[in-house]
Structure 1
Amino acid sequence: MNIPLLSAIKSIIKLSSEEEEIIQNLFKSKTYKKGTFFLKEGDVCRQVGFITKGIFRYYINDEGEDKTYGFSKENEFTCNYESFVPQSPSNQIIQALEDTELMVISYDGLKEFYTKIKEGERFGRNIIEQVFVQTLKDRNSFYTDSPQVRYEKFIRDHYDLQQRLPQYYIASFVGVKPQSLSRIRKRIS
């Protein structure tokens, strides 16, 4: 079984050895090559993943322009809950930026997790609350912070990703063109 996945779950809820076995049967190993999609625009998100290796980028296509709104890396969950929860088509895209390995659970598997794991629903609620709060913070930052402040927050929150991500994805996340990001980086250093 994937120890990082169990550790992530155990950091929120207690698990019996029987529950660990149930989880082992519900989560399946999956890989994505660099550039492939965990979720395409218009598809329904049918799984939640726990990343064991690699990075995913979250973005939307706004009239032909990709706008990055987030990243997930090792030991983080990935999903488009806006599509997953109601099982409706997604307007968001999740793409592997590196060869990525993860443990996935299907929509039906997650329902089973909630019923068979004693504190399963509490775990799900906690994860959704974390995603919701982060989404609000990111949205508020986009409207209230300057691009320089957003870049400084990116560096603080994702220091380990600076060397792993192309600068144009970081610029898109900050909300500027790559040339503007270069100027911001020069001012900071």
Structure 2
Amino acid sequence: MGLYNYTQRKWVYERVALNGSYPDSNVSWAKLYNGKVYHTSTRSMQCNDVMTGEEIWKVNFDQGFGSSGFIIHDGKIFGNNDNRYTYCLDPQTGRQIWKEESSGSASPISYLNGVLYFMGGGDGRLHAIDATSGKHLWRLRSPDVDKNSGAFFYGTCVAVPGQGGQKGRVVATTGLNAYGYEAIR
């Protein structure tokens, strides 16, 4: 990571290693939030100060965040780890707030009104997890699995806000169809 001052045409800092524990690994899923950059690397998530490049915190895991990545909402980090757990971390400290048994690999997470929605790559189900408590609200099985054993939920999962006092919708795809479900809130 580096920070270049374009006005002064000079580097503030350059080539700060973001993945020191795993030098041959990729840094992925970088997100900026409150003057900090958050990212994952092979088996860790860490936070660096954008202005200095200094590491603020790092949390090691036994697996990586793979294609699932993470999101930051309502002052919390949410991510699906390949170790079959969904995590909620404090973005200031990296402290674990909660951990819920989940699906392992998953689609990217959608967030709507305090609920996390995603499709589990490990179980093929559509998940809804309460963002405050970390408890599952439901795990839906694809209606298409009865027609074709490979038509579990995968691909795209999008939470769409409701309008005019209506609940939102969660749209999830299988290999055969797209389904819309009423959002929990």
TM-score interval w.r.t. the shorter chain? under 0.3
Which structure: greater helix fraction? 1
TM-score by length of 2: 0.28
- TM-score normalised according to structure 1 size: 0.27
